[in-house]
Amino acid sequence: MIAILKKEFHSFFASPVGYLVIGLFLVLNALFLWVFDNDFNLFDYGFADLTPFFQLVPWIFIFLIPAVTMRSFSDELRLGTLELLLTRPISKVQLVLGKFFGALLLIVLAVLPTLVYVYAIDQLGNPQGNYDLGVLIGSYLGLLFLASAYTAIGVFASILSENQIVAFISAAFLCFLFLFGFNALADVLNSSFFRNLSLQNHFESISRGVIDSRDLIYFISLTAFFIGATVFKLEHKIR
């Protein structure tokens, strides 16, 4: 699995993909948070916290993570190298996990530079340092779980088709459905069942700084479900 992870991670930086993903993520965040006049602008927000940042990132992730994962299995299917890859002494689960963690590591690497924003709000606060550290830690933890779920969805979507565009659209749609779609259904149907399926609800819950086991179980279960679905689909592909 480690070999697949390294291969996947290094492949991002062997082409412009890795640099584009990190650069685009940081530029978009910087423009919306510090430059553009919009609801996410930290100067207009009036409080020394990163709430606008954590409201913005799920939207960026909906397009960014599918762009990272769309080639995970699509390339293997298109080039006919999947069977060759499976001749290696690794299980299908290890193969899927290697690709999953390789993509997730790139996303984590893209998020790490945003820690400079913590220093910025520390300096902007009146008095300095006037921000809720618990909420900040919870929000970053929620972001990690959100990225994990999106990545699992993206890897699953990539095995559905050898066409990368189809994989990208499928992943973006599923991410949008889980983040906002189920909440909309819950509002229309007044259903707590669909509300409990919403990524947005669980992400916002963790972002309050309170670590609830129900939120952790949800994120772990959702990630595990799509990883399992990818393994199942992989077995079906090679029969």
Quick: pLDDT tens for 174-193.
999 998 888 888 888 887 88
How much is the pLDDT for 168? Answer: 94
Q: How far, in Å, CA of 132 to CA of 134, rounded?
A: 6
Mean pLDDT value of segment 200-208: 87
pLDDT tens readout for residues 20-59: 888 989 999 888 888 887 778 877 776 767 888 898 999 9
Q: How far, in Å, CA of 91 to CA of 88, rounded?
A: 8
**Is pLDDT at 6 greater than 90 in this prediction?**
no
Q: How far, in Å, CA of 185 to CA of 182, rounded?
A: 5
b/e per residue 96-122 (b: at least 16 CB within 10 A): bbbbbbbbbbbbebbbeebeebbeebe
Contact (Cβ atoms closer than 8 angstroms) between residue 164 and residue 75: yes
Mean pLDDT value of segment 116-142: 79
How much is the pLDDT for 86? Answer: 73
How much is the pLDDT for 76? Answer: 80
Total-model pTM: 0.91
Give the percent of the chain with pLDDT over 90.
36
Give the percent of the chain with pLDDT over 70.
95
| Residue 146 main-chain phi, psi, to 5 deg | -65, -45
How much is the pLDDT for 117? Answer: 86
Alpha-carbon distances, residue 206 vs 20, 69, 74 (angstroms)? 29, 25, 33
pLDDT tens readout for residues 132-178: 778 888 889 999 999 999 999 999 999 998 899 999 999 999 999 99
| Higher local confidence (pLDDT), 85 or 201 | 201
Q: Computed over its alpha carbons, how large is the radius of gyration of the chain?
A: 19
The single-letter DSSP state of residue 115 is G
How much is the pLDDT for 87? Answer: 74
How much is the pLDDT for 133? Answer: 77
How much is the pLDDT for 182? Answer: 86
Mean pLDDT value of segment 72-97: 81
Which residues are CB-neighbours of 189 under 8 A, at least 6 positions away?
A: none
Where is 207: in which H helix or E strand?
helix 199-207
| Higher local confidence (pLDDT), 46 or 96 | 96
**Is pLDDT at 126 greater than 80 in this prediction?**
no
**Is pLDDT at 236 greater than 80 in this prediction?**
no
Contact (Cβ atoms closer than 8 angstroms) between residue 188 and residue 114: no
